[in-house]
């Protein structure tokens, strides 16, 4: 698939930015982004996995968590995760739809 090399380069770019930044919130965001990208890449290797459905399901779980949370700091963290998942969903699923 075309997405593996590009997404791997995205993960490497995030690692490079992560090493160069001193801001703790940015490091947390980058760490989360790297972990989510790596999880998606692992699932892409398994041809039986419907990656778009998996990411969409995780997004729905995150939205439910946001709606059930009253802590501003927790909601902020979850919104950050949701933005990352949305970005991954767009990148991966738009390519999958073009291929199919």
Structurally, the chain folds into a number of domains equal to: 1
State how far the Cα of 31 lies from the Cα of 78, in Å rounded to an integer. 14
The residue count for the chain:
100
- Predicted confidence (pLDDT) at residue 60 exceeds the cutoff of 90: yes
Domain that holds residue 11: 3-99
Q: What is the largest CA-CA distance in the chain?
A: 42
The predicted model scores a pTM of 0.64
- Predicted confidence (pLDDT) at residue 63 exceeds the cutoff of 90: yes
* Number of other residues whose CB lies within 10 A of the CB of residue 59: 17
Q: Are 47 and 96 in contact (CB under 8 A)?
A: no
Give the pLDDT score at 1.
Answer: 46
pLDDT in tens, 6-49: 666 766 666 665 555 556 766 777 787 888 888 888 877 777 77
Share the mean pLDDT of the chain.
77
Structure token pair of residue 13:
């770019």
State how far the Cα of 95 lies from the Cα of 92, in Å rounded to an integer. 5
Tokens 């940015």 label which residue?
26
Share of the chain above pLDDT 90, in %: 12
């Amino acid at each position: 698939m075309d997405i593996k090399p590009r997404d791997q380069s995205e993960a490497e770019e995030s690692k490079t930015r992560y090493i160069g930044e001193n801001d703790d919130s940015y490091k947390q965001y980058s760490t989360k982004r790297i972990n989510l990208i790596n999880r998606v890449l692992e699932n892409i290797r398994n041809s039986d996995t419907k990656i778009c459905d998996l990411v969409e399901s995780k997004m729905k779980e995150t939205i439910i968590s946001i709606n059930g949370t009253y802590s501003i700091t927790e909601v902020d963290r979850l919104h950050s995760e949701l933005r990352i998942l949305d970005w991954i969903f767009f990148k991966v699923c738009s390519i999958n739809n073009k291929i199919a």
